[in-house]
Structure 1
Amino acid sequence: MEKTLVSVVGPTAIGKTKLAIVLARHFDTDVISADSRQFYKEMNIGTAVPSAEELSLAQHHFIQHKSIFDHYSVGAYEKDAISMLHKLFKAKDLVVMVGGSGLYIDAVAKGLDEFPEVPPHFRKNLNKKLEKDGLESLQKMLHELDPVYYAKVDLENPHRLIRALEICLASEKPYSSFLSYDKKKRAFQTVTIGLNTERSILYDRINKRVDKMVDRGLLAEVESLKNFKGLNALQTVGYKELFAYFDGNCTLDFALGEVKKNTRRFAKRQLTWFKRNQETLWVTPSMNEERIILKLEKDLIGKK
């Protein structure tokens, strides 16, 4: 049997973790996380890390294995994940990967593009500009230097903006000119199963998840991290909005409303990314799990 990586994708709060565990138990295999928000051990509630019970149901990798103080790039993750897959495929014919971070998923399945080396002063200057002039200044700069990438990047993610801008400035070429659409050859096939549902149902799931996070102690978690709010790992939905609250810049109700709104926007961007893959088998969270497994085996794993 050809070695197979089953990639479970979809927007936040859709139920990817549950499905990944079902698949892992059915195929007697491990789960690799491709959720870049769940890499950090200091971030638990706000990133919806699988519970202890869920983690006990299947062996997971790349869950809270780093600190927010560590620099961990998508390139480093690609190398670590491919190394782990090489090890797992010695004993397994199939491994499950799950997550909502499209760039990290593509890095494993397709490989990363090659970029030129960038002197550190470019990033240092861009970080200063972000701090002084705000995110909008970086968005405007990217629009001028690379309108192609501007049209598809997550404009609310300062890390992605700075990465693209430093390449533009250092190379004097658009970041998008370095992007390749040719897959790198992997020693395994990747099949993708996507979870999605009606937008109103998804948005309701998101709103309820945020409320549950608050009940579980999200405010205390964010408050414990407020002194480190400038770190890249913390530039994410659910944290930056509550940092504004703890800084006295808004009310709690407003901050939580922003968390829900920005999470919904994030989910929309995730779907836009994942729907680019025309070979994805899309299912709904309400679909019978046995039926999903049957469809996966019949429609995807059987294809070469």
Structure 2
Amino acid sequence: MQKTIIIIAGPTASGKTALSVKMAQLFNTAVISADSRQCYREISIGTAKPSPEELSAVPHYFINSHSIREEVNAGIYEKLALQYAAAIFEQHDVAVMCGGTGLYIRAFAEGIDDMPDISPGIRAHLNEQYALHGLHWLQQQLQERDPGFYATAEIQNPQRLIRALEVLEATGKSITAFRSATRVQRDFNIIKIGITLPKELLHHNIHYRVDQMIAAGLVEEVRAVNPYREHNALRTVGYQEIFQFLDGHLSLEQAIEDIKTHTRQYAKRQLTWFRKDKAFQWFDPRDTGNILEYVQQKLQ
């Protein structure tokens, strides 16, 4: 049988982790995370890592593998994930990949292009503008100048927005032009499973999860990583809002409401991203029987 990766993707709080563990147990194999933040040891609550029980049920790669002091990006992830897959394939015919970071999944499945060099002047100018005018200015600029990328971008993450604007300034082209030019053919088979829930249920799960994170000590976790707040992994939903609370700009109640709102928006963007890839077959995660039947058919 050709070696196969089963990719399970979809919006946050849709049930990807539970399904991936079940799938890995079925094939007696391991899970490779495709989440850009769960690799960091210092942040666990706000990243919704698999539980200790899930982590011990099957081997996991790219969970707690790095320190927040290290920078990880899609190019680094592509190389690491290919190494993880090769290691799993030494023992097994099937591996499972699970996560919601669309760019990481694309880098693994198709390869990622080298990004253009950016002059320090462009970078400095955009960082100055961000310092002066804030996140809203970055969002506005990108929405006007690169609406295609903006539609799926992580718009609460200033570093991602600055990166996209840098590429625009330097080349006159959208950052997406550098992400789809060359598609690598992998020497293994890829089965893509997309999962999502009805909107009301997904939103309920998101709100419940945020409340659980607060109860589990999210504020203390964010306080502990305050020295690294400029790191890309912390410029995201769940961390930015609590930093705002710790700085005295928001009440805790408002910060929690903002996390819920921004997480719903992020989930919508994840769906937009994954639905553009027609190779994904979509399921309700509660329909495990149908999902497993589809995977078995594809494997034959």
Indicate whether the TM-score tops 0.5: yes
For these two proteins, the number of residue pairs brought into alignment is 300
Amino acid at match of 1:256: I
SS of residue paired to 1:204: helix
Hey, what's the Cα distance between the residues in 1 that align with 2:51 and 2:152?
33
- Is the CA contact (8 Å cut-off) linking 1:25 and 1:58 kept in structure 2? yes
Within the alignment, does 1:230 sit opposite 2:230 as a pair? yes
Q: Deviations over 1:13-54 (max 9, x none)?
A: 111111101111110111100011211111110111111111
- Is the CA contact (8 Å cut-off) linking 2:41 and 2:65 kept in structure 1? yes
Residue equivalent to 2:205: 205
TM-score, with normalisation over the residues of structure 1? 0.92
**Which 4+ runs in 1 deviate beyond 6 A?**
none
Deviation at 1:63, TM superposition (A): 0.4
Q: Deviations over 1:226-259 (max 9, x none)?
A: 3332221101111111111111111111110111
Residue equivalent to 1:109: 109
Q: Which runs of 5 or more residues in structure 1 are unaligned?
A: none
Amino acid at match of 1:247: D
Residue equivalent to 2:240: 240
Hey, what's the Cα distance between the residues in 2 that align with 1:297 and 1:181?
32
Q: Following superposition of structure 1 onto structure 2, how do residues 46-61 of structure 1 map, counting pairs within 5 Å?
A: 46-61=46-61
Q: Relative to structure 1, is the Cα distance of residues 296 and 181 closer, same or farther in structure 2, using a 3 angstrom cutoff?
A: farther
Hey, what's the Cα distance between the residues in 1 that align with 2:173 and 2:183?
22
Within the alignment, does 1:276 sit opposite 2:276 as a pair? yes
Within the alignment, does 1:164 sit opposite 2:168 as a pair? no
Deviation at 1:81, TM superposition (A): 0.9
Hey, what's the Cα distance between the residues in 2 that align with 1:264 and 1:157?
15
- Is the CA contact (8 Å cut-off) linking 1:146 and 1:176 kept in structure 2? no
Q: Deviations over 1:57-114 (max 9, x none)?
A: 0000000211222111111111111122122222221110000111111110111123
Deviation at 1:181, TM superposition (A): 5.8
TM-score, with normalisation over the residues of structure 2? 0.93
SS of residue paired to 2:38: helix
Residue equivalent to 2:130: 130
RMSD of the alignment, in Å? 1.9
Q: Which runs of 5 or more residues in structure 2 are unaligned?
A: none
Hey, what's the Cα distance between the residues in 2 that align with 1:269 and 1:118?
27
Deviation at 1:192, TM superposition (A): 1.0
Deviation at 1:144, TM superposition (A): 5.1
Identity %: 42
Hey, what's the Cα distance between the residues in 2 that align with 1:292 and 1:177?
33
